């Protein structure tokens, strides 16, 4: 049963992709219908898979030789992420019906989205590290193709290529990890390693651990690879919601969570993970304070929230991190889709050109505010519970300075969230244009997500038992929802955090009176606007490479004599090497 | 002794072939080089190949060179060599210095005196028949290509 | 069909077809002026199809009984794993190219010569990889080289094609004299020419400086054809100026055949396989770096693809270098797998670029090169061709699950399994290079999917199905090999074993 | 007869060196072809000498024959190319023959 469902979850979107592509751009209605049908079907299959979880391998295809056994496992972690990918994927597809209405090359769009959904499901469901790498690359490829979807726009193309190259560079870390695993154990099945990390030489294990951290940081846009995600916002907004908020960027967190039992013993690894998460969380929270592009603010906040999850893993809170991932997928997809409805109707992403949109778009405002409250960590929305769990884990198991920084960024989160809501929906109107509220298909996608943001925390108990039952190595305790709630409410961390969040809100309220403070931190905002120099470093590396390439071109002189000279130089070099080595 | 003389002649001809400015003269020096090579091959005990080298290398190829040079014409010699002569010298000396050094042991080999000179034909046709077949292929390919290279281009335009 | 007949026919059919094609073309030209090339075209395709039959039997014999030998007096030809793999690749690629060229070369003057020379080149490649005699190897090599000189300079009224032809010829001829000297030294030292006997004599004789210099001479001589950096300088010129079908052949199989010749000849004369393995890996690293960096700033499509061949050669060299170093078959299997996938990917890329070049420029009697910006929005007008080109490029960039990734992966695994820290570092370097290569493949793919087509695309002529069919076949193969790499294990494993046999493992 | 290898081997090396030096230094395409021919002469002597050294004169001879045929063909093609180059470029100066670079 489980094996059939896995085939369906991965295969249905891919078949759908092919059919949409074959349908051709002249039959757009057929394309819309096909895309919805196949994504929803895959979502249903994934939900059905929730009731068939186990920690044993359910599919095993022998690819032979150096390609190993293509294995799939439907354990809790995998199935939960597959559900997120397919369900939010279906909602994004439904949202696209209105959002992408009248776009050219719709076939390419839907085919890539569906291909992505299947790839993401495969990425989490497989237990073969090589196969995981395949799916990893597939998701990167789809993300690239969709960021560069409007490829008449040089910014979109540049953003796409940047995302592709950075995630691919990170992919090298995963590739090295897979190669090391295979050369050590003769198989790519990582569950063996997770169950017993001792089978691998400690030095090799440490190489794998840090390789995976690099891969995860690149994929989840964590420090120091965070620069690609804001640029990826050139993608159509449903894509930002699906790929760059709810699913693909979580792959890095998933990777760390998956391998946590194996790597936690590696010296320095957990500290490195904590550092990566903390720096990402705080830096991008500051950047979100000063950004004026609506989608960029959301992108920075995504990086920041992913930082929370990474931090939680570093502190040993796998459950907290996954629960926050769950909440975040819902409220961030909601925020992005609602932002998409705003952008679609206003026609700009610059928040300075918005304002007072609330009256004209009541429904959008309503859901956006719900998402924002969840993001800011206001009780009783889902973001509150999961963020508190993360902070609690940090207080209990992490270093205190890291916890302090995480608290600070919780405050900042509240601040920039309210700034964003105010700039978009309240304040003074900045344009006389008539805007319309979300269209029907958009509503279909927004309302379930809003409901999710309000209520998904009720699933905390079942979620923990799901992870507990099928992930023996992760040592996650099964607790009921009430226990979770009690734990959160009883912990002092919660009240500290709430106080900080309230401080952030007060700071926002009293922003006029805080002019002096803002002035004092002028240098910080200036640095944040320049993304703390990371863009410059990126540009420098690109310039260096291109410069080297340009310099190297002079070696191809086009003069025959030099070509012959090259021949002789090689001859001399080789003969000298051989004579010296004997 | 004769060997040494011929060797000196070959080297002289080779140097002259690259030194002289007029291309026709260079082609003729090359012919001389070829003829002396043929002589050397004869002394090495390869009379048949010497004859062929004489007729093909010194004869046919020279004729072709003269033809080609006639069509192309002598260009005014350019003074500036394309790459600095010093670099060129360095490369040649380094490469063939090491090569010659490595091959010093070859000089200590005793060469047996030739008693009789066997007929080459049997060896060529029997032992290395495949090479001979391939010579035909080579000639065919070469001829095809040369026809293509030298045939007039004008017919194409008329067809197109 | 006996093994000997199969091998004979495999060589004889295309070889015999060459003059027939030429004569048929000429006669048709004399009698019916209009369709001079038609008979030549059809004959060429038929000859290659016919050659598939003996190859099938040869493969059957090989898989059941091992290498098959054909003795022609004292020289023998042997079909071992490597030759079977290269011969099969050459024939399939050759068939695709010939079929493609029936349209591409249509109305070009000298079409019959083109096809005749193409046949000779294919025979040259097959013979080259089957040769067991050092000198015979050189002769086959010359057959392949001579026919390719003329094919590179086929557009003899194009100044750039002539320039490329001249450079290719001079560099290659210099290389072949190096080989001759190497052969002479080997022959002087060992007194035999059969590669196996040379190997025995060399291992008995120990480390002789003469043999050492001979091995370097042969490495450099064959290295010119195999495009080892810094001997690669002819490649970007020749590959970009040749007719597109020939570019596909040159990149797809000729440089690999050069590599096989290099391995066969040097394998017989080297003493220390570890040093040699390091050397090949070093060339691999150079090829990767130089090829990628040079490709990064190219504006001409075919020139960019040519440089990418230099870097793809690097992967093959890394795989084979690891195998030579460790004397374990995995690396070689990966390297030879990459030979197959590269010939498919680069063949498809060159043919697709050629089809676009034909439609956009040559059909308008314009011989200017196709630049990257000319392909803007090509997918609007040529959705199928653009898609195939995109698949080929992404496969070359090593994106799973396409074939290019699988072969690279096998090479990487071998590098890690060797346990040598240098090899592991090299693999990481190769993987990063693979990412770097996306820096030039991805923008090209992007351009083709732009909404606003370039003027050239708007005025482009339609592309005939004749040009698309080979692309379909190759693309299907790329995807199939990507999804199920074991499909060619029956070819790559024996080839790896043969390589180890060459190096005395 | 023991002096033969000395002298002939030396000739081979020197002639080879001359040919390569020419290839590096000359700018005239015809000279390049002449240099290639000089190189081949060296190779040919070396092959026959090798046959002589190990007493297989016949093999050396038959090899040299093939070499002559092959390299004559290469020379002829090179000359034909040079003629075409002159026709389309107006010169056989290598320094002018460098449109393809970088």
Round to whole Å and give the CA distance between C160 and C114: 19
Q: What share of chain C has pLDDT > 70, as a percent? A: 99
Q: Enumerate the domain spans of chain C.
A: 273-505
Which residues in chain C are contacts of D55 at CB distance < 8 A?
Answer: 191
Residue among C66, C63, C124, C61 nearest C261 (CA): C124
C480/A contact by beta carbon, under 8 A: no
Provide the angle, in degrees to the nearest 10, between the axes of the packed helices A294-314 and A400-425. 160
Contact C139 D100 (CB under 8 A): no
Q: How large a percentage of chain B has pLDDT more than 90?
A: 11
Chain A residues in contact with C230 by the CB 8 A cut-off are: 555, 566-567, 569-570
Cβ D76–B15 below 8 Å, yes or no? no
Q: How far apart are CA C298 and CA C62, in angstroms?
A: 44
Q: Which of B105, B137, B156 sits opposite C143 (nearest CB)?
A: B137
Entry field: residues in chain B: 160
Quick check: C342 pLDDT over 90? yes
Return the residue of B nearest to D4 by Cα: B3
Cα(C314)–Cα(C465) distance, rounded to whole angstroms? 34
Backbone angle region of A379, left / alpha / beta, with phi > 0 → left and psi within -120 to 50 → alpha? beta
Structure tokens at C21: 């094609």
Contact by Cβ (8 Å): D92, C159: no
Distance CA A239, CA A336 (A): 9
pLDDT in tens, A347-365: 888 887 777 777 788 888 8
Residues of D in contact with C139 (CB under 8 A): 66, 70
Q: Is the pLDDT of residue A530 over 80?
A: no
**Is D30 close to B72, i.e. CB distance below 8 A?**
yes
d(CA C121, CA C124): 5
Q: Is C124 on the interface with D (CB under 8 A)?
A: no
Q: How far apart are CA A294 and CA A419, in angstroms?
A: 11
Which chain A residues have a beta carbon less than 8 Å from that of C237? 558
Q: How close does chain B come to A573, measured CA to CA in Å?
A: 9
Query: Per the structure block, which two tokens stand in for A440?
Result: 């029907």
- CA dihedral in degrees (A534, A539, A544, A547; nearest 10)? -170
Quick one: closest CA in B to D35, which residue? B18
From chain A, pick out residues whose CB is under 8 angstroms from the CB of D25: 561
- Pair of tokens at residue D94: 């290598």
Q: Name the residue facing A550 among C220, C233, C297 (closest C-beta).
A: C297
Backbone angles phi, psi at C444, to 5 degrees: -65, -45
With 90 as the cut, is the pLDDT of residue C315 above it?
yes
- Taking residues D28-52, report their average pLDDT: 90
- Structural domains of chain D, ranges and CATH numbers in brackets: 3-92 (1.10.287.3510)
Largest CA distance in chain B: 66
- For C29, the enclosing helix (H) or strand (E) is helix C3-31
Smallest Cβ–Cβ distance between D2 and the set B91, B111, B123 belongs to B111
Kindly list the residues from chain A whose CB atom is less than 8 angstroms away from the CB atom of residue C297.
546, 549-550, 553
User: Does residue C10 contact residue B131 with C-beta atoms inside 8 Å?
Assistant: no
How much is the pLDDT for D93? 83
Give the DSSP H or E segment for A416.
Answer: helix A400-425
pLDDT at B155: 43
In contact, C211 and C239? CB cutoff 8 Å: no
* Angstroms from D92 CA to nearest CA on chain C: 10
Min CA distance, D49 vs chain C (Å)? 8
- Phi and psi at residue A189, to the nearest 5°: -75, 110
**Cβ-Cβ contacts under 8 Å for B134 (sequence gap 6 or more):** C127, C136, C139, C140, C143, D66
For residue B156, pLDDT beyond 50: no
pLDDT bracket for residue D1 (50, 70, 90): very low
Query: Which tens digits make up the pLDDT trace of A159-207?
Result: 888 888 888 888 888 888 888 888 888 888 888 888 888 888 888 888 8
Report residue C24's pLDDT band, with 50, 70 and 90 as the boundaries. Answer: confident
- Using pLDDT thresholds of 50, 70 and 90, give the confidence band for residue C349: very high
- Identify the band that residue B112 occupies on the pLDDT scale cut at 50, 70 and 90: low
What are the structure tokens assigned to A303, written together? 């990086």
DSSP B20-62: -SSHHHHHHHHHHHHHHHHHHHHHTT-HHHHHHIIIIIIIIHH
In contact, C211 and C271? CB cutoff 8 Å: yes
pLDDT band for position C309 (50/70/90)?
very high
Residue C43 has pLDDT above 80, yes or no: yes
Verify whether the Cβ–Cβ distance D47 to C163 is below 8 Å: no
Q: What is the pLDDT of residue C505?
A: 61
Q: Which candidate, C61, C145, C48, C118, places its Cα nearest to that of C88?
A: C48
Show Cβ contacts of residue A95 under 8 Å, excluding neighbours closer than 6 positions. A238, A241, A337, A340, A441, A442, A444, A445, A446
Tracing tokens 């994106």 back to the chain, one arrives at C399
- Domain ranges (residues) in chain B: 1-76, 118-160
CB C359 within 8 A of CB C422: no
What's the confidence (pLDDT) of residue A3?
Answer: 83
DSSP-assigned letter for residue C362: G
Looking at the DSSP bridge assignments, the partners of residue A293 are: A350
Task: List all chains that touch chain C, counting a touch as 3 or more CB pairs closer than 8 Å.
Answer: A, B, D
Residue C87 has pLDDT above 50, yes or no: yes
The pLDDT-based confidence of B126 (bands split at 50, 70, 90) is: low
Q: How far is D102 from chain A (nearest CA, A)?
A: 4
**A383/A456 Cα distance (integer angstroms):** 9
Cα–Cα distance, A448 to A92 (Å, whole number): 12
> What subunits make at least 3 CB pairs under 8 angstroms with B?
A, C, D
Tens-place pLDDT, residues D66-93 = 899 998 999 999 999 988 888 888 888 8
CB burial of residue C297 (10 Å; 0-12, 13-18, 19+) = middle
pLDDT at C177: 93
Indicate left, alpha or beta for A480 from its phi (over 0: left) and psi (-120 to 50: alpha): beta
ipTM above 0.85, yes or no: yes
User: How do residues B14-69 score in pLDDT, each as one tens digit?
Assistant: 999 888 888 889 999 999 999 999 998 888 888 888 888 888 888 888 998 988 88
How many pairs of residues across B and D have Cβ atoms under 8 Å apart? Answer: 235
Are A144 and A165 a contacting pair, CB within 8 Å? no
Whether residue C167 and residue A579 make contact (CB cut-off 8 A), yes or no, is no
Q: CA torsion sign, B66 to B57 to A559 to C173? A: positive
pLDDT exceeds 70 at position B117: no
> CA A566, C254, C179, B45 torsion: positive or negative?
negative
Evaluate the omega torsion of the peptide bond into residue A147 and state whether it is cis, within 30 degrees of 0: no
Locate tokens 């009430």: which residue? A482
Phi (first) and psi of residue C201, to 5 degrees: -65, -40
Q: Is the pLDDT of residue B134 over 90?
A: no
Residues B96, D16: C-beta atoms closer than 8 Å: yes
Range with the lowest mean pLDDT among A534-548, C113-127, C160-174, C323-337?
Answer: A534-548
What span, in angstroms and rounded, lies between the C-alpha atoms of C319 and C332? 6
Altogether, the residues listed in chain D come to a count of 102
In the three-class reduction of DSSP (H, G, I as helix; E, B as strand; rest coil), residue B114 is classed as coil
pLDDT digits (tens, 9 = 90+) for A431-444: 666 777 777 888 88
Q: Give the D window 22-81 contacts with C, CB below 8 Å.
A: 23, 29, 32, 36, 39-40, 42-44, 46-47, 49-51, 53-56, 59-60, 63, 66-67, 70-71, 73-74, 77-78, 81
The pLDDT value given to residue D59: 83
Query: In this structure, are residues A140 and A218 in contact, taking their beta carbons and an 8 Å threshold?
Result: no
Cβ-Cβ contacts under 8 Å for B111 (sequence gap 6 or more)? D1, D2, D4, D5, D52, D53
Determine contact: A571 vs chain B, CB below 8 A: yes
Cβ proximity of C325 and C281 under 8 Å:
yes
Q: Is C455 exposed, middle or buried (0-12, 13-18, 19+ CB in 10 A)?
A: exposed
Q: Which chain C residues are Cβ-neighbours of A183 within 8 angstroms?
A: 413, 416-417, 419
Residue that has been written with the tokens 């029997």 in this structure: B126
CB-CB neighbors (< 8 A) of D53 in chain B: 106, 109, 111
Query: How far is A82 from A12, CA to CA, in rounded Å?
Result: 13
Alpha-carbon span D64 to B52, nearest angstrom: 10
Q: Residue A312: enclosing H or E segment and its boundaries?
A: helix A294-314
Q: Does B103 touch chain D (CB under 8 A)?
A: yes
Q: How confident is the model at residue C36 (pLDDT cuts 50, 70, 90)?
A: low
Sign of the torsion angle spanned by Cα atoms C271, C274, C280, C282: negative
Beta-carbon separation of D78 and C170 below 8 A = yes
CA quadruple B31, B33, B39, B40: dihedral, nearest 10: -150
Distances (CA, A) of A322 to A78, A122, A464: 11, 18, 10
């Amino acid at each position: 049963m489980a094996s059939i469902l896995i085939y369906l979850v991965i295969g249905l979107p891919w078949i759908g992709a092919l059919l949409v592509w074959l349908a051709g751009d002249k039959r757009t209605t057929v394309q819309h219908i096909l895309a919805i049908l196949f994504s929803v079907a895959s979502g249903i299959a994934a939900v059905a898979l929730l009731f068939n979880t186990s920690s044993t391998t359910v599919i095993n295809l022998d690819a032979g030789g150096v390609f190993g056994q293509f294995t799939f496992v439907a354990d809790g972690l995998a199935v939960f992420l597959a559900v997120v990918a397919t369900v939010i994927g279906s909602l994004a597809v439904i949202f696209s019906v209105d959002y992408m209405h009248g776009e050219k090359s719709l076939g390419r769009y839907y085919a890539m989205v569906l291909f992505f959904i299947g790839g993401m499901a495969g990425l989490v469901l497989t237990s073969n590290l090589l196969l995981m790498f395949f799916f990893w690359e597939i998701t990167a490829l789809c993300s690239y193709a969709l960021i560069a979807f409007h490829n008449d726009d040089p910014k979109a193309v540049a953003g796409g290529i940047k995302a592709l190259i950075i995630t691919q560079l990170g992919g090298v870390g995963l590739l090295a990890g897979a190669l090391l695993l295979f050369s050590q154990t003769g198989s790519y099945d990582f569950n063996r390693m997770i169950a017993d990390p001792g089978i691998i030489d400690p030095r090799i294990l440490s190489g794998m651990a840090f390789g995976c951290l690099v891969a995860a940081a690149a994929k989840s846009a964590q420090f120091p690879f965070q620069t690609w995600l804001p640029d990826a916002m050139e993608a159509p907004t449903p894509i930002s919601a699906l790929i760059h908020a709810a699913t693909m960027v979580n792959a890095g967190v998933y990777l760390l969570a998956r391998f946590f039992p194996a790597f936690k013993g590696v010296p320095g690894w957990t500290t490195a993970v904590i550092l990566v998460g903390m720096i990402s969380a705080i830096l991008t929270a500051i950047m979100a304070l000063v950004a004026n592009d609506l989608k960029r603010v959301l992108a920075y906040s995504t990086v920041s929230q992913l930082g929370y999850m990474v931090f939680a893993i570093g502190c040993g809170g796998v459950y907290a991190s996954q629960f926050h991932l769950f909440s975040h997928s819902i409220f961030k997809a909601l925020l992005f889709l609602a932002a998409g409805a705003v952008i679609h109707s206003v026609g700009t992403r610059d928040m300075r050109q918005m304002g007072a949109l609330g009256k004209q778009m009541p429904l959008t405002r309503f859901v956006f505010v719900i998402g924002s409250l969840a993001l800011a960590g206001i009780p009783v929305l889902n973001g509150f519970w999961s963020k508190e769990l993360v902070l609690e884990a940090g207080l209990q198991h992490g270093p205190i300075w890291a916890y302090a920084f995480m608290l600070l960024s919780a405050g900042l989160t509240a601040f920039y969230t309210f700034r964003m809501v105010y700039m978009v929906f309240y304040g003074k109107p900045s344009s006389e244009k008539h805007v319309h509220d979300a269209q029907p298909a958009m509503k279909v996608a927004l309302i379930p997500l809003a409901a999710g943001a309000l209520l998904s925390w009720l699933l905390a108990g079942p979620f923990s038992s799901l992870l507990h039952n099928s992930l023996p190595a992760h040592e996650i305790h099964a607790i009921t929802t009430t226990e979770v709630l009690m734990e959160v409410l009883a912990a002092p961390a919660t009240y500290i955090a709430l106080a900080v969040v309230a401080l952030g809100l007060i700071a926002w309220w009293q922003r006029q009176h805080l002019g002096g403070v803002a002035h004092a931190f002028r240098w910080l905002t200036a640095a944040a606007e320049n993304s703390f120099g990371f863009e410059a470093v990126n540009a420098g590396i690109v310039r260096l490479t291109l410069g080297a390439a340009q310099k190297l071109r002079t070696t191809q002189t086009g003069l025959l004599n030099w070509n012959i000279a090259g021949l002789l130089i090689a001859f001399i070099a080789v003969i000298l090497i051989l004579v010296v080595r004997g | 002794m004769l060997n040494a003389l011929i060797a000196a002649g070959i080297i002289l001809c080779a140097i002259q072939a690259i030194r002289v400015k007029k291309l026709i003269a260079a082609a003729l020096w090359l012919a001389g080089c070829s003829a002396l090579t043929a002589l050397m091959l004869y002394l090495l005990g390869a009379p048949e190949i010497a004859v062929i080298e004489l007729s093909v290398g010194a004869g046919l190829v020279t004729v072709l060179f003269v033809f080609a040079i006639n069509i192309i014409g002598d260009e005014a010699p350019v003074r500036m060599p394309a790459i600095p002569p010093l670099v060129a010298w360095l490369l040649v000396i380094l490469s063939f210095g090491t090569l010659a050094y490595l091959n010093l042991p070859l000089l200590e080999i005793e060469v047996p005196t030739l008693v009789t000179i066997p007929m080459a034909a049997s060896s060529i046709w029997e032992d290395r028949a495949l090479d001979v077949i391939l010579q035909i292929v080579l000639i065919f390919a070469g001829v095809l290509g040369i026809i293509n290279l030298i045939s007039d281009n004008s017919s194409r335009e008329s067809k197109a | 069909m006996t093994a000997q007949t199969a091998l004979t026919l495999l060589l004889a059919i295309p070889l015999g077809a060459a003059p027939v094609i030429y004569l048929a073309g000429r006669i048709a030209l004399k009698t019916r002026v209009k369709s001079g090339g038609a008979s030549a075209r059809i004959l060429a395709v038929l000859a290659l199809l016919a050659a598939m039959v003996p190859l099938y039997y040869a493969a059957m014999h090989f898989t059941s009984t091992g290498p098959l030998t054909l003795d022609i007096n004292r020289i023998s030809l042997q079909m071992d794993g490597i030759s079977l793999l290269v011969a099969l690749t050459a024939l399939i690629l050759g068939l695709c190219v010939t079929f493609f060229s029936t349209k591409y070369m249509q109305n070009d003057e000298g079409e019959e010569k083109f096809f005749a020379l193409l046949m000779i080149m294919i025979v040259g490649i097959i013979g080259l990889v089957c040769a067991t005699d050092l000198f015979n190897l050189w002769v086959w090599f010359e057959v392949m080289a001579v026919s390719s000189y003329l094919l590179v300079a086929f557009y003899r009224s194009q100044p750039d094609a002539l320039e490329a032809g001249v450079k290719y010829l001079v560099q290659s001829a210099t290389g072949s004299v190096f080989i001759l000297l190497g052969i002479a030294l080997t022959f002087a030292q060992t007194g035999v020419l059969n590669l196996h006997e040379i190997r025995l004599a060399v291992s008995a004789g120990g480390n002789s400086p003469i043999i050492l210099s001979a091995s370097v001479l042969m490495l450099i001589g064959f290295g010119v054809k195999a495009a080892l950096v810094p001997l690669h300088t002819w490649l970007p010129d020749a590959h970009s100026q040749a007719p597109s079908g020939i570019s596909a052949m040159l990149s797809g199989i000729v440089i690999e055949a050069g590599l096989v010749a290099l391995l066969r000849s040097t394998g017989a004369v080297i003493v220390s396989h570890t040093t040699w393995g390091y050397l090949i890996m070093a060339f691999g690293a150079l090829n990767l770096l130089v090829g990628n960096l040079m490709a990064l700033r190219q504006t001409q499509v075919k020139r960019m693809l040519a440089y990418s061949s230099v870097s793809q050669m690097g992967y093959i060299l890394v795989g084979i270098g690891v195998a030579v170093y460790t004397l374990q078959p995995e690396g070689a299997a990966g390297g030879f797998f990459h030979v197959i996938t590269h010939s498919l990917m680069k063949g498809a890329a060159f043919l697709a670029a050629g089809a676009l070049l034909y439609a956009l420029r040559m059909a308008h009697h314009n011989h200017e090169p196709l630049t990257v910006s000319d392909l803007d929005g090509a997918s609007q007008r040529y959705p199928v061709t653009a898609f195939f080109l995109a698949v080929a490029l992404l496969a070359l960039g090593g994106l799973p699950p396409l074939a290019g990734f699988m072969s690279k992966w096998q090479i990487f695994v071998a590098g890690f399994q060797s346990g040598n820290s240098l090899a592991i570092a090299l693999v990481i370097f190769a993987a990063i290079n693979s990412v770097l290569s996306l820096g030039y493949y991805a923008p090209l793919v992007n351009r083709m999917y732009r909404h606003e087509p370039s003027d050239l695309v708007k005025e482009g002529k339609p592309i005939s199905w004749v040009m698309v069919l080979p692309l379909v076949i190759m693309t299907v193969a790329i995807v199939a090999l990507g999804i199920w790499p074991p499909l060619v294990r029956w070819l790559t494993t024996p080839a790896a074993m043969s390589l180890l046999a060459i190096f005395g493992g | 007869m023991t002096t033969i290898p000395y002298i002939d081997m030396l000739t081979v090396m020197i002639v080879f060196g001359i040919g390569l030096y020419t290839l590096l230094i000359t700018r005239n395409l015809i000279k390049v072809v002449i240099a290639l021919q000089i190189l081949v002469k060296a190779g040919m002597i070396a092959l026959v000498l090798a046959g002589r050294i190990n007493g297989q004169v016949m093999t050396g001879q038959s090899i040299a024959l093939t070499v002559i045929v092959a390299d004559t063909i290469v020379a002829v093609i090179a000359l034909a190319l040079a003629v075409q180059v002159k026709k389309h470029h107006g010169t056989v100066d290598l320094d002018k023959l460098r449109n393809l670079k970088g």
